[in-house]
Structure 1
Amino acid sequence: MRAPAVPIALTVVLLAAGCGSTSGDGEAEASVGAVTSAPDARLTLVADEDAAASAASTSRALFDSAEVAVVARDGDDAGTLLAASAAVGLGVPLLVEPADGGPADVLTAELDRLGTTTVLAVGDAEAAGGDHEVLAVPAAAESVAAATGLDLAETSEVDDAAAAAAVAGLDGEEPVALLAGDEEAPADDVDRLPGVERAAPLDGTLVLATGSTTTLAGIATARAAGARVHVGGTDPRADADLVGLLGEDQPQAVLALGPEYAAEEGLDWKLETAATGRQLPGGGQLLFPGHFLVALYGHPGSGALGVLGEQDAAASVERARAHAAPYEELVPDATVVPAFEIIATVASEFAGPDGNYSVEVPAEELRPWVEAAGEAGLYVVLDLQPGRTDFVTQAEQYRSLLELPHVGLALDPEWRLGPGQVHLTQIGSVSVDEVNRVVTWLADLTRAGDLPQKLLVLHQFRVGMIPERERLDTSRDELAVMVHADGQGGQGDKQATWQALRQTDPDAVHWGWKNFYDEDAPMLSPEETIAQVSPRPHLISYQ
């Protein structure tokens, strides 16, 4: 059992505003040191848009002091990469000097805070001013090696796109010289920095970086401090590798590095969710666009309600896999995931004891199917046909199943009755306000349980089934909201329905399509489904 994730508090670090001197003959004097410390908060945000400020903020977050520091000039790619190699090899911060003679107050202030006495200025950097000595070297591996005493015989040429990953991969125990194309000519004579005694590595700290050029120096500083660095997007739930890393290592502190993180709403709870290590079938904690679902629809034990019920659970798993398999070549840019859509509450012609014209199957009767699907790597959607009751009331009866990470929810407005209505005398409908109450309920359940994103499917084949759907709440990142076009008949009619439903498309909604074995004329093959249904859906179900 994994340890529970520590509740996340957020600290924001923004800047608005080890070594002695060298001898003239290049011999190093006594060793000097650097002191690291992990951030106090569980989550620290460094979102400066300026490279110099970002570098200084990261240094402040991870280093208490450093008698030696490395400086590169903003915009000097060759100097920055070699400076990163030097900083990580020495175990000291990498700071950035503003380009074109810009104000160096941020740089000078951070050097003073660190107690830096000697600066290694690489490439175009000058690091003038302040109470420190400057050892300037060209952006040449030979010169940096001579100044630092590092063995930089191993080199790696890095382009802009790979720079962040390359810096994140640097290891102080195995120095590598990162090069941006042709090197400058090495200097004839280079003084030697004093030896630097490395600080204790920050093993319990993880740095998440967007990889923008603004973050390169901060990434190097993090690696110099012994923190692990993961380069990726701003939502930690989207990255299966990161979810696995967080779940296994449970870092004590996380630093989010990059201006893009400032726009990531809910970064604290998203990180806490990722830290559970729970993954969706197919990996990660976000459904789309990384996943493509292919589902069998129906009710266990009843072939009359769809193909899911034509066989037992184990055989249904194999049938779902068989349906999904042809799509793997057709959808190469997503992970194809087989799925069940289980009708949990079945519309009835009889009022029943509660008078709601819906038969609610007990959650525990469905659990064997739900668990069998989860063990086999299938996603599950529970479908509600509520009759005269409301969707939230019925959904609450399946809370115990919806608290599983691989289970989502579907609403079937066709079977939502008003007072005095009965099934099959009219097509049902639901107000968008009731749908939005389900959105809130399901999103709150997902957030409270630190669960991966959940799918909320809205079945629809007429616009009037969900009037004013343009008011649909798609603001909750805990959910992937989908409109599922489940009309049947000739393909011309189905395409007309598809286009009509898409005319009221909120920006953030996803799309699903249903193929009927008996009612479509004809039913599309997988190849035809992908070729003819545009834009491509994220869920194909079979009934």
Structure 2
Amino acid sequence: MAALGLLAGAAACSDEVGGPASTPSPTTAVSSKPSVPATTTPPPGPGDLPRGGRTIFPKYQLVGYVGLPGSPALGPLDKDLDKKAASLETLSRTYAAGRTPQPVMELIAVVAKGTPGKDRLYRGRLPDATIDEYLAVARRHRMLLLLDVQPGRAKILPEVKRLERWLKEPDVGLAFDPEWAVGPGQVPGRVFGHTTGAELDSIASYLSGLVTANRLPEKVFVFHQLSRRIVSNEHALRKHPGVVTIKSVDGIGHQKDKVETWSKLTPNLPPGVHAGFKLFYTEDRRHGTLMTPTQVLSLKPRPEFVVYE
């Protein structure tokens, strides 16, 4: 992931609710009033996924776009959301290969920043109204919404719990990008962040509790990883009822390099952890060509979530 490009998008977020990091764009302005859902489109039934049923795999093949409002460098979901949703729908069908395509919108709800902000936690948060807007679009197109957290110096679990209002919904999951989870005295983009299997397990356990308490269908939990040093003691991550955990391998570069990263990070996955694969429209093409769906699906194990940034 391009560090400078990601950090450039942080200006669209606030440091804390009600405290702008900089002058927000009109679509991401922070309001002191409670947010109002952008549409009356109802959620799926309390026990249903957007396209039916309660379980993700093996029925569905997940295919997603990443994005942050007003930041095209961070993926396709920057604007024109209904148009992008239609494009994602078409793309997802090319990955079906015997499964039902389930498109996924991965919204960067908490973004790492290169500046400290008022609380000196080096992260910005999207306004509630913006998350509601993306959820409304996802529901119009029967898509899953993933809320992606890049916490900077903030602790990851409190950032996740702050999103509970949405995570209690049947069609909203979570993504965590530990590359941007740095320690005290560190700055995102200057060093790689880090997490542990135990920390990932605490997140999965929390999500499992939400699923049980609210009688939800399976909830997707994605953690992104681009090198071995990003996650230590990965096997401390255990399987939790109602949570579908996916490791998204985020290697950047020539196809050979991406496949090499895949071969390093997917053997001996913890029990119950599924494999995912990320493609970068700009960076991958800069190093060669974008891998085709056929090439991606030829990877072993099969990537069950393919996401484009």
Normalising TM by the smaller chain, what interval? 0.7 to 0.9
Give the structure 2 partner of residue 513 of structure 1. Answer: 277
Distance of aligned partners of 1:393 and 1:440 in 2 relative to their CA distance in 1, 3 Å threshold? same
Distance 1:345 1:394 in 2: 8
SS at match of 1:307: coil
Aligned mates of 2:175, 2:104 — CA distance in 1: 13
The one-letter code of the counterpart of 1:318 is A
- Within the candidate set 61, 70, 83, 1:301 is matched to 70
> What do residues 76-121 of structure 1 show as CA deviations (whole Å, max 9, x unaligned)?
xxxxxxxxxxxxxxxxxxxxxxxxxxxxxxxxxxxxxxxxxxxxxx
Task: Give the C-alpha shift of residue 487 in structure 1.
Answer: 1.2
Equivalent of residue 431 in structure 1, options 193, 196, 199: 196
CA contact (8 A) 2:296 2:303 kept: no
Q: 1:316 is matched with which residue?
A: 84
Post-superposition Cα deviations, 1:164-196, rounded to whole Å, max 9, x if no partner, equal xxxxxxxxxxxxxxxxxxxxxxxxxxxxxxxxx
Give the one of 277, 293, 297 matched to 1:530.
297
C-alpha distance in 2, partners of 1:277/1:413? 31
Instruction: State the alpha-carbon separation in 1 of the partners of residues 56 and 226 from structure 2.
Output: 23
Structure 1 gaps, min length 5? 1-275
Residue number among 249, 257, 260 corresponding to 1:493 in the alignment = 257
Q: Distance in 2 between matches of 1:381 and 1:277?
A: 17
Pairing 1:416–2:185 present: no
| Alpha-carbon contact 2:67-2:107 (below 8 Å) kept | yes
The match for 2:58 is 289
CA displacement 1:16-72 (0-9 Å, x = unmatched): xxxxxxxxxxxxxxxxxxxxxxxxxxxxxxxxxxxxxxxxxxxxxxxxxxxxxxxxx
Preserved contact between residue 300 and residue 312 of structure 1 (Cα < 8 Å) = no
Higher relative contact order (CA 8 A, sep 6+): 2
Q: Secondary structure at the match of 1:457?
A: strand
User: Which structure has the larger Rg over C-alpha atoms?
Assistant: 1
Equivalent positions of 1:137-216 (< 5 A) are none
1:325 aligns with 2:93: yes
Q: Aligned AA for 2:73?
A: A
Structure 2 portions without partners, runs of 5+: 1-44
The separation in 2 between residues aligned to 1:440 and 1:339, in whole angstroms, is 22
1:449 CA displacement: 0.9
Alpha-carbon RMSD: 1.4
Deviation at 1:277, TM superposition (A): 5.7
Whichever residue aligns with residue 319 of structure 1, its letter is S
Q: Is the contact between residue 238 and residue 272 of structure 2 (CA under 8 Å) also seen in structure 1?
A: no
Corresponding residue for 2:238? 473
In 2, Cα distance between equivalents of 1:391 and 1:373 = 25
Task: Tell me the equivalent position of 2:22.
Answer: none
The one of 160, 163, 180 aligned to 1:398 = 163
Q: Equivalents in 2 of 1:361, 1:304: separation in Å?
A: 17
| Contact preservation (8 Å) 1:301, 1:312 | no
Secondary structure at the aligned position of 2:282 is classed as: coil
SS in 2 for 1:482: strand
Shift of 1:504: 4.0
1:450 is aligned to: 215
Q: Against the structure 1 CA distance between its residues 465 and 473, is the aligned structure 2 distance closer, same or farther, given a 3 Å change threshold? A: same
User: Deviation at 1:473?
Assistant: 1.7
Is contact 1:483–1:511 with CA below 8 Å preserved after alignment?
yes
| TM-score (norm. length: structure 2) | 0.81
Equivalent of 1:342 in 107, 111, 120 = 107
Give the letter aligned to residue 518 of structure 1: T
CA offset digits 1:469-494 (Å, max 9, x no partner): 011121x1210011000111011111
* Cα separation, 2, equivalents of 1:344 and 1:517: 21
- Does residue 359 (structure 1) correspond to residue 124 (structure 2)? The answer is yes
Equivalent positions of 1:263-282 (< 5 A) are 278-282=47-51
Distance 1:316 1:420 in 2: 38
1:478-519: per-residue Cα shift (whole Å, max 9, x none)? 100110001110111111111111234112110100111111
CA contact (8 A) 1:280 1:406 kept: yes
Query: 1:419 deviation in Å?
Result: 0.9
Show CA shifts across 1:374-397 (max 9, x none).
231111111100011111111122
Secondary structure in 2 aligned to 1:394? helix
Alpha-carbon displacement from aligned partner over 1:441-466 (angstroms, at most 9, x marks no partner): 11111111111110010100111111
The SS at the match of 1:278 is coil
**Which consecutive segments of 4 or more residues in structure 1 shift more than 3 A?**
none
